[in-house]
Structure 1
Amino acid sequence: MLDIKWIRENAEALDEALTRRGSSATASDILRLDEKRRQHLKALQDWQSQRNEASKQIGKAKASGDAAAVDEVMRAVADLKTKIQDGEKLEREIDAEIDAVLATLPNVPLPEVPFGTDETGNVEVRRTGEKPTFAFKPKEHFELGEALGLMDFERAARMSGSRFTVLRGDLARMERALGQFMVDTHTHEFGYEEVSPPLLVRDEALFGTSQLPKFAEDLFQTTDGRWLIPTAEVSLTNLVREEITDESALPLRFTALTPSFRSEAGSAGRDTRGMLRQHQFYKAELVSVTTPETSLEEHERMTAAAEAVLSKLGLHFRTMMLCTGDMGFSSRKTYDIEVWLPGQDAYREISSCSVCGDFQARRMNARYRPAGEKAAPRFVHTLNGSGTAVGRALIAVMENYQQEDGTILVPEVLKPYLGGLERIGAR
């Protein structure tokens, strides 16, 4: 959530940022509400001062023995009390109206983020590794998986509908191995703390990480009002909600391997074949909580951690800086990592790493106490990233390591997790 004080001082900058993100300029509407609130608070303070002064007069009137004067003063106090009660109710209503508007505003992009309306405006930052070459026409993952008898979309659809997959045998083992390999990499090499978080959360948690209220249609909700997490970012970032952390404890770095659940609203007709876009998938999530001064450096570090996973797997990928029109709602700057899929002859997103500044922290009231200062606590900065999407990593391994006979070689780094298995063949 944006700071109302910052909006007062930077109204033009806000409108410019919203325009760059493809939204309507709304600073004037917010400032009108803010001015209404400030004028109302001044009136409320005046009434409270008048009530306090009138209350003092009651004793004097009683001491004088003037019953009429006592009645008059007490009526004035009662009238002011009613005004104040009504005024406090109106204050809460105005505050709620302002908060409702602020809750719908996206974060302000950093100056270096390129302007663009959609993914065509994204800018390539670097490429890593080499595309594999084949002496045959490479197949897509679903062709390989079905031919091996290890990937079953038909049975999944019969029990759950579209956008679900059943993995069997060595493909199921490889999916599990990929997730374990990712978490081991992040904990052993990059200092992330492994967490096993809740998969069901309340409204407040999703509001904190900005999925609610705007993106409710992308989520699954249970009958008791809880929500299935769309990413472990929600659970991990909310570990610091409503807390004040000592600066000496920062940065906090968390990782979790969990299922993620997404309704994929608005994606009808996209990636309907295979397991690129699923309602349920595993992801190794990365979350960092830092000071404002170190968050941009942490963003580069987090992105490097996600890139390391793909490099170790021997996959070719490119890193893109997202433009203003393609960024997530709570992000100030985002790198997408796109892995090469030879079966599709295309790059596809496998990780997205974002720095959010204090945007989520304000929604969660997550703060830190600066070291050696008597200053008031400050809001932390939060970051999140995929380290990486397990299902898409499985797809990438299948397509990049496929052989002409339809078998799939096992990357060296995964062999210890698969008991030394060299190749995945038919079930």
Structure 2
Amino acid sequence: MPEVVTDAAVKRALELIHRQYADELTIEQLARCAGLSRTVLAQRFDSALGQSPMRYCVDWRLRMAAQMLEQGRHTASEVAYAVGFGSEAAFNRAFRRRYGEPPARWGRQRAADTLRELPRQQVQHCGAKDGTQLAWSRVGHGFPLVKTANWLNHLEFDWQSPVWRHWLLELTRHNTLIRYDERGNGLSDWDVHDLSFEAMVDDFEAVVDASGVQQFDLLGLSQGASVAIAYSLRHPGRVRRMVLLGGYSQGWAVRCRGEELARREAMVTLTRTGWGSDMSAFRQIFANLYIPGGSSEQIAWWTELQRISTSPANAERLQRALSMIDVEDMLARVTVPTLVAHATRDHVVPFPCGERLAARIPGSRFVSLDSENHVLLKSEPAWSEFLSVMREFLGAAAPSH
């Protein structure tokens, strides 16, 4: 299936299928959504995707089923009904025709294969200043690279995700990677009173102390860049080099005005009702902001990450907390060698935010990346470029062993 469909009518039909794949959609419903007759939709669908709309509906349901089975958290029976089959027997027949094996056996084999390919991760917990339990992990070998938490993450789910897996595999290739789930998110405590930026910096400090590393390189993505900046001022001697991607010094509630501020406020309001829905148009919109260049599979994984990573209430609170970040006055005091990179068409954190970070951090290096994705995807040239530049930057002062 092509990763990019340019036919607007076909895209509307696809969005309905992806959003309501567990429903018994009809060709009439798809045609109405696309604004075409059934015959014309079938012709244009076949031209764009090489199959009929109804065949695609079945294939997509089976792809969603395969993803759920691969995660290893659901039985074949649970998956059958979750993706809209009326009986487990019908699901078993359809799945076997598509994948050549019964779903239960296929899922066990894929889960086992995936685990064999991945580095071993042991999730540990440490206590924050206020007693909040933080989940963190250490994977790989080499000079420590500590990654600040960014929204959205999940220590276990990310290893299976086509959005994050390539990040983790590459970051552990030459380094010991230490990362964690932020409070209110992932495997860390969800029931927390304090979601302030100060608490987030304290959490990072607690994870670093628990890991026992004395000096390390620091990677901050999105709001994690602000946490990295604040920590580097608290402990400049512990951070050897710092890499910031898609970061900002001021959250949107601080920097935005007018229509942009109103749009951001509307997204937070929608979060209250949209985040928890199993088939939420809101979550699809949210995913398209973060990875607009993502394939259908990547979008599906991102929407699932939203569902499992935090509650609707925490999602709203986290957005509010991140919107109020302001480390602008800290930038001129950063002494750690810093690389700043930013996607030129980032829809979540505008490109000028990255330019401003680089302009205000003394001696920093700035790299613009030709991408529209807030999270760089494996297939895009910007990912390879960022990886190369980051490795060059961190390797320039590699410690002797």
> Normalising by the residue count of structure 2, what TM-score does the alignment of the two structures yield?
0.24
Q: Which has the higher helix share?
A: 2
Higher RCO, Cα 8 Å, sep 6+: 1
**Greater CA radius of gyration, 1 or 2?**
1
